[in-house]
Amino acid sequence: MGSAVPNKLSISDATTKIADGTLTSEALIQSCLDRVSERNDTVQAWAFLEPDLALAQARKRDQQKAKGLLHGIPIAIKDIIDTADMPTECNSPIYKGYRPDKDAAVVELLRNAGAVIFGKTVTTEFASTFPGPTTNPHNPEHTPGGSSQGSGAAVADFMVQGALGTQTGGSVIRPNAYCGTVGYKPPYNTYDKTGVKPLSSTFDTVGFMVRHLDDVPIVSAVLAGRNPVKVSKGIAPNLLLHRTAQWDEAEECVQNLLEECAEKFAASGASVRDHSFDEPYDNVQAMQRVVMAVEACRDFRKEWTEYRDLLSEPFQQLLLRGFECSPEERGAAEGLVKHARENLPNLFKPGEIILTLGAPGEAPKGLHSTGSSIFNRAWTFFGVACLYLPVTKGPNGLPIGIQLVDPLNDEARLLNAGHWCARALGLTIT
């Protein structure tokens, strides 16, 4: 629900207030900047933020008639996504001070919809594993997840209404899980990736984080260049409880949460049945990593050849894995991706929604790692739509929740399931 404090408003509430004249974009942006001033020394979410630039955009929006679904709304951009008026540095010394000539396609769509491009959020190096300085806003001793670490932390800490991220393994859903925000990863290639630094073209997917379910179809519509989908919100979903082959690697708190949620959903009228994949899809983690490594060494050949000493050790190891991969191993992995995506519609019936974990537990302590993506990689492998819902807090006081997956990629159906599940759990994220 809406709040009197502008930076805590949902996107839908803020756009309503801006439209009816009870809030200006400048006031909204200033409220977000005040929050950044108060908290960013601890959270460290921003790779680039120029208050005067953000305020200038807001004042321009206030002088205009509303031009789109996000008129006057601050949106943050992960720092591997090009912005013509801000650096894109990819958390790498190789790109220190680099300024692109033009916006990425998704940034252009945001501007055309009236959004204020608030700033650039910290990413791991090239959206891989080597982290930046960002901390979890719930406890700075813990990771916010990655690779979209700054985007997750900034939205969770009320510094901005929404933020773009990208996912190649689990880099949208996991930061949402660790920071306690609503996350959406659309089906593969739903949003244009032009102007996004590639890591693995087969898996790279632009997604985003917000704090309210009602904001998901708004942002998604803008990024897809269409009208928002109509969400019924009232139909009990047909849920497939999927524990995954990595179930034993999950903490007891999230195992129990998933089981409890499934019981509540069944008691509230949803159909819930157990689900698992048979071979060869029961464990695709290794194949996903092979394809990612092979494609990374192709896309980063220049950086490897000319700037190897400026690459982190973990990123060098990723590229070496790709260079050393045999043609047979590469062919098998790429073949399985193609087969899986083509065959997936044969494995599910229309209306079935997968209920599963979004992360193996609470955000781990320490900032040397962004945590494990074992409960995300399979869905990135299949290229399917994922929605993350924060539900409660674990024993260490950090957020935990659930992930919903639509294997047939119907956004409206997935969002309906999300709203229904949120109401069944009594959540206030609608």
Show which residues are catalytic.
Answer: 78, 147, 171
**H or E stretch including 239?**
strand 238-242
CA–chain centroid gap for 305, Å, is 31
Specify the pairing of strand 205-210 against strand 182-185: antiparallel
Contact in structure between 237 and 397 (CB atoms under 8 Å): no
Type and span of the H or E element at 274: strand 271-275
Token pair, residue 126, equals: 């090239």
Q: Which residue has the tokens 């983690």?
A: 285
The DSSP code for 63 is T
Taking alpha carbons only, the member of 408, 421, 391, 378 closest to residue 244 is: 378
Q: Output the 3-class SS for 199-224.
A: CCCCCCEEEEEECCHHHHHHHHHHHH
Residue 68 CA, distance from chain mean position: 23
The rounded distance, in Å, linking the Cα atoms of 176 and 157 is 12
Query: Which sign does the torsion angle of CA 407, 412, 417, 422 carry?
Result: positive
CB 242 within 8 A of CB 275: yes
The torsion region of residue 30 among left (phi > 0), alpha (psi -120 to 50) and beta comes to alpha
- Grouping H, G, I as helix, E, B as strand and the rest as coil, residue 182 is strand
303-307 long-range Cβ contacts below 8 angstroms, 24+ apart = 303/92, 303/94, 307/94
Query: How many residues would you count in the chain?
Result: 430
115: tokens are 């959004």
Beta bridge partners of 274: 241
Paired tokens of 51: 């208050």
> What residues have CB less than 8 Å from 157, skipping those under 6 apart?
35, 39, 43, 45, 137
Cα–Cα distance, 305 to 307 (Å, whole number): 6
